């Protein structure tokens, strides 16, 4: 295949592709709302039908306790060839507040070179692009360089409650050498971006119990331990004055950045004034010797997300409360293990438990950190594909947040994960007037086609 052939195929079929996309975006597949269950199913069927037309085999809607998972594969590259798994989702966020939409969320409208509809960017539009890119490669070359598998779920917007079990139970069927996910955004317009790692998470709630009922602070204060005093003492023990986590062993397994990664992050540039204005702070804060990106992407954190106890109304109430509480989450980086970190945290709580109160620790769900090595051929091939189409250097990032499903894919399938996102910060995902820029749709299709070519070269596939 040549770039020229692909370009002309995509150009010729652009109108039809957009018509198909409009059709897909017209289905109100809001997974959170039971009233839309039939619509959500319809989107699943639309996806499976589209896969069938593409020439995928074993196409099926795999039932779950919630919305079904669409699977399909094309395994004709041969057993000796690598396999690529493409993950996406056909469900969308709710649309409230509806009155803020300029055009109805499920009546896709093109204006100013953007297509407006719920799901245009997140993630129906981007999942659709994968199907159309493979259509173009098949149409122009008659074959595909790898075996391909699609796994398109319908519950991403409600936290993917059923996907982990599905992956675990079907790991043979889903086995792959590379996993590609297009459900993220570029850092800014015309800056193609590869996010090659995300932080993991673990968290817990602290419940501190003192006297059996609220007491009058004048009558008992000074003689009965106050659960608020205990909780603030315990919480304050988690950090030193510079924001460094003081839990024993917390940083032991943290993998330092390579010099290539450091250089890649420095190349991004960071407009401190803009970010300060955006979040409304005078100064940043955190571990000395680390940049903003390092602090939020590659350093682990312990963040107190909530604290509460005693009186919260206006004015004063002289109470010594019976209870106080806190909610805490840690962001984890390779090679921290959530279970190991939770054990360290529990040990810390035991060691620092103030006298006179009982402290209970309740664990929340957890997720491992994930990183595909920066220099992995699958990452570097993606970078070259972006640069070929966009004609600028690819930006490499890692993410401060967590995508539990990516951790699961990573853990169960043990394959490198490539996050090739074509969205933009201006796409309004999860908000009114979600849209997808047509330039990103067009160039994204070209990038995906280029990726398969670059990846084939990198993996030495004839």
Structure tokens at 37: 């269950």
Measured from the CB atom, the residue of 189 and 277 that comes closer to a copy of itself is 277
Which of 21, 70, 195, 228 binds a copy of itself (CB under 8 A)? It is 228
H helices of 55-162, in order, are 124-141
The footprint of a copy of itself on residues 321-350 (CB under 8 A) is: 321, 324-325, 327, 329, 331
Under a CB-based contact definition with an 8 Å cutoff, are residues 48 and 59 in contact? yes
Q: Which stretch binds a copy of itself (CB under 8 A): 292-300, 368-376, 388-396, 426-434?
A: 292-300
Under a CB-based contact definition with an 8 Å cutoff, are residues 300 and 332 in contact? yes
Which of 14, 191, 253, 295 binds a copy of itself (CB under 8 A)? It is 295
Which of 318, 350, 375, 414 binds a copy of itself (CB under 8 A)? It is 318
Under the criterion CB under 8 A, does residue 243 sit at the interface with a copy of itself? Answer: yes
Under the criterion CB under 8 A, does residue 213 sit at the interface with a copy of itself? Answer: yes
Which of 161, 393, 401, 425 binds a copy of itself (CB under 8 A)? It is 401
Structure tokens at 200: 């993991």
The footprint of a copy of itself on residues 20-59 (CB under 8 A) is: none
Under the criterion CB under 8 A, does residue 430 sit at the interface with a copy of itself? Answer: no
Measured from the CB atom, the residue of 94 and 356 that comes closer to a copy of itself is 356
User: The tokens 């010729």 sit on which residue?
Assistant: 12
Q: Min. distance of Cβ 359 from a copy of itself in angstroms? A: 13
Q: Min. distance of Cβ 292 from a copy of itself in angstroms? A: 5
Under the criterion CB under 8 A, does residue 306 sit at the interface with a copy of itself? Answer: yes
For residues 177 and 73, what is the distance between their CA atoms, to the nearest angstrom? 14
Under the criterion CB under 8 A, does residue 164 sit at the interface with a copy of itself? Answer: no
Q: Of 140, 102, 93, 82, nearest to 121 (Cα)?
A: 93
Q: Of 66, 387, 356, 71, nearest to 233 (Cα)?
A: 356
- DSSP for 380-408 reads HHHHHHHHHHH-SPPEEEEESS--HHHHH
Under the criterion CB under 8 A, does residue 355 sit at the interface with a copy of itself? Answer: yes
* Number of residues that this document lists for the chain: 462
Measured from the CB atom, the residue of 22 and 244 that comes closer to a copy of itself is 244
Measured from the CB atom, the residue of 354 and 373 that comes closer to a copy of itself is 354
Under the criterion CB under 8 A, does residue 400 sit at the interface with a copy of itself? Answer: yes
Torsion of CA 435, 392, 403, 454, to 10 degrees: 110
Long-range contacts of 58-63 (CB under 8 A, 24+ apart): 62/166, 62/170
DSSP annotation of 254: P
Which of 31, 397, 402, 447 binds a copy of itself (CB under 8 A)? It is 402
Which of 223, 269, 273, 288 binds a copy of itself (CB under 8 A)? It is 223
Q: Where are the beta strands (DSSP E) in 316-373?
A: 319-320, 323-332, 358-363, 370-371
Under the criterion CB under 8 A, does residue 310 sit at the interface with a copy of itself? Answer: yes
Under the criterion CB under 8 A, does residue 268 sit at the interface with a copy of itself? Answer: no
Torsion of CA 250, 255, 256, 261, to 10 degrees: -140
Q: Residues binding a copy of itself: what is the number (CB under 8 A)?
A: 75
Which of 172, 271, 283, 462 binds a copy of itself (CB under 8 A)? It is 283
Measured from the CB atom, the residue of 108 and 210 that comes closer to a copy of itself is 210
């Amino acid at each position: 295949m040549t770039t020229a052939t692909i370009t002309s195929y995509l150009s010729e079929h652009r109108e039809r592709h957009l018509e198909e996309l409009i059709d897909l975006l017209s289905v109100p597949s809001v997974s959170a709302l039971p009233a839309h269950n039939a619509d959500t199913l319809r989107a699943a069927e639309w996806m499976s039908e589209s896969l069938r037309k593409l020439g995928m085999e074993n196409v099926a809607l795999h039932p779950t306790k919630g919305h079904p998972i669409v699977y399909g594969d094309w395994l004709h590259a041969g057993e000796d060839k690598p396999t690529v798994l493409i993950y996406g989702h056909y469900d969308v966020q709710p649309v409230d507040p509806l009155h803020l939409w300029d055009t109805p969320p499920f009546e896709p409208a093109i204006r100013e070179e953007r297509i407006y509809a719920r799901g245009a960017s997140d993630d129906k539009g981007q999942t659709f692009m994968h199907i159309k890119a493979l259509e173009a490669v098949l149409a122009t070359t008659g074959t595909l360089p790898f075996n391909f598998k699609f796994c398109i779920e319908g519950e991403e917007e409600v936290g993917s409650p059923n996907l982990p079990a599905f992956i675990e139970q079907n790991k043979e069927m889903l086995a792959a050498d590379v996993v590609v996910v297009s459900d993220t955004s570029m850092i800014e317009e015309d800056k193609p971006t590869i996010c090659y790692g995300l932080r993991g998470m673990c968290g817990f709630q602290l419940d501190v119990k003192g006297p059996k009922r609220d007491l009058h602070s004048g009558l008992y204060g000074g003689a009965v331990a106050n659960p608020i005093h205990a909780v603030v003492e315990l919480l304050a023990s988690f950090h030193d004055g510079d924001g460094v986590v003081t839990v024993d062993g917390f940083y032991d397994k943290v993998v330092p950045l390579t010099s290539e990664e450091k250089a890649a992050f420095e190349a991004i540039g960071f407009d401190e004034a803009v970010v300060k204005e955006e979040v409304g702070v005078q100064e940043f804060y955190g571990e000395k010797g680390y940049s903003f990106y390092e602090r939020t992407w590659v350093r682990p954190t312990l963040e107190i997300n909530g604290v509460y106890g005693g009186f919260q109304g206006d004015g004063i109430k002289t109470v010594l409360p019976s209870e106080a509480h806190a909610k805490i989450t840690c962001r984890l980086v390779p090679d921290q293990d959530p279970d190991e970190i939770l054990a360290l945290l529990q040990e810390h709580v035991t060691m620092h438990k103030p006298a006179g109160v009982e402290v209970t620790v309740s664990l929340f769900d957890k997720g491992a950190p994930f990183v595909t090595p920066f220099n992995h051929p699958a990452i570097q091939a993606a970078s070259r594909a972006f640069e070929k189409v966009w004609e600028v250097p690819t930006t490499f990032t890692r993410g401060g947040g967590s995508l539990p499903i990516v951790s699961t894919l990573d853990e169960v399938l043990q394959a490198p994960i490539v996050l090739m996102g074509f969205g933009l910060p201006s796409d309004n995902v999860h908000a009114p007037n979600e849209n997808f820029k047509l330039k990103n749709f067009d160039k994204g299709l070209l990038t995906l086609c280029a990726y398969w070519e670059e990846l084939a070269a990198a993996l030495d596939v004839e």
